[in-house]
Amino acid sequence: MSTLGNRIARIDNYVYHLEHSRTHNSWFSNPNFNNNYELWNVIKTFDKKQLVEYYKEQEYLKTREKQLA
């Protein structure tokens, strides 16, 4: 699997995971779980151009870019 030119694969080495708390909204009980799952099923079919364009239009990224400018 590759979208942005990087392979996604298993490695025979260390991988680090940053711990974070889980709440009642962390799994199937999240009211947005189904929407998120459906969105993932769409996004994972995007090619590089579609993925870049999709994220260019995300409001939270536009807001963050303004904050960093």
Per-residue pLDDT of the chain (69 residues; tens, 9 = 90+): 667 777 777 889 888 888 888 888 888 888 899 999 999 999 999 998 999 999 999 998 889 889 988
pLDDT at 25: 80
Helix/strand/coil for 25 = coil
pLDDT at 1: 60
Identity of the amino acid at 65: E
Q: Give the helix/strand (H/E) hosting 42.
A: helix 33-43
Distance CA 49, CA 43 (A): 12
